[in-house]
A and B are shown apart, each in its own frame.
Chain A
């Protein structure tokens, strides 16, 4: 992530950037030392408030941009609950910085999604901040997935291990898009019923269709069966 915000810093007019997570604080930062960590965190909290207020009115909010006399701040949500905050010169061209960010963030989003797939179990709690639909980040479904409804009993809670295994293996075939496709598939699959182990073959079939390639689908099916021998798949 550090490398990526360093790339952003190379855009003319960009003073520096950082990635902020509402519960974990500042994750990466390349702002000049003049910007103290405590102040950066305070700024990020303010930006979270503005983003939340904006999203309350505009569900399709893609980013916020604050301009002061001698500096400006752009805040955009990455995948998950990570926010990218870029501090720029005030005269920076909004369109130029946007386009540059879109390009850079395609890579940022892919890397973060890949990292989260590797390190995050599927039943992780939902993000603290509401998701913002970013032009560079495809919207993530928020219904009927184990990750999206931690507060109430999940309809798929008793098979969360099986789902986790299926999601993790899917990432080997679909990369960063795996989680999004998996969530979509689970959403469709669990509609109108309380899924159980006996329903898992239907989900597996649906995921194999998403993979698209017969050989890869076969391989995926075998991997899941190996790792879930008692699931009835």
Chain B
């Protein structure tokens, strides 16, 4: 099983995750189970750039995640993980704070396990 497969398997098991995607900062999709991956990857890429631009303007510390909150629909959460974005469509009505905490913990584990500079693709090798 490849690194990407393992990642998909684990993230899909986190409570509250309806769909997910992993893409590079340039928008290149690595894996997903989204119904509209092109739209979601464009959104993640463009908004990720804006979030990082705000970071530079304000002198903020690194960007962690961005939430597009919807009251009665799936909210989209975009996490940054080194050179990648991880997009999560949350199950409708699921506690977002709880989900964000669980995903963040999962991503920290991956970050710790990974060698610096390696991508999920590189981990397959």
Question: Quick one: CB contact mask for A91-113 with B, threshold 8 Å, 1 for yes?
Answer: 00111001000000000000000
Q: Would A53 and B58 count as touching, CB distance under 8 A?
A: no
Q: Is B13 an interface residue (CB 8 A)?
A: no
Question: Quick one: CB contact mask for A12-28 with B, threshold 8 Å, 1 for yes?
Answer: 00000000000000000
Q: Is B51 an interface residue (CB 8 A)?
A: yes
Q: Is B7 an interface residue (CB 8 A)?
A: no
Q: Would A54 and B61 count as touching, CB distance under 8 A?
A: no
What class of interface size applies to chain A in its complex with B? 20 to 34
Q: Would A43 and B58 count as touching, CB distance under 8 A?
A: yes
What class of interface size applies to chain B in its complex with A? 20 to 34
Residue from A39, A60, A68 with most neighbouring chain B CB atoms (10 Å): A68
Within 8 A of B (CB), among A54-111: 54, 56-58, 60-71, 73, 90, 93-95, 98
Report if A62-B69 is in contact (Cβ < 8 Å); known contacts: A50-B47, A57-B40: yes
B interface residues (Cβ-Cβ under 8 A, vs A): 39-40, 43, 46-47, 50-51, 53-55, 57-58, 60-73, 76, 95-97, 100
| A47-B54, A57-B43, A95-B96 known, 16 other contacts, Cβ within 8 Å | A43-B58, A49-B46, A49-B47, A50-B47, A50-B66, A61-B68, A66-B51, A66-B54, A67-B65, A68-B60, A68-B64, A69-B61, A69-B62, A69-B64, A93-B97, A94-B67
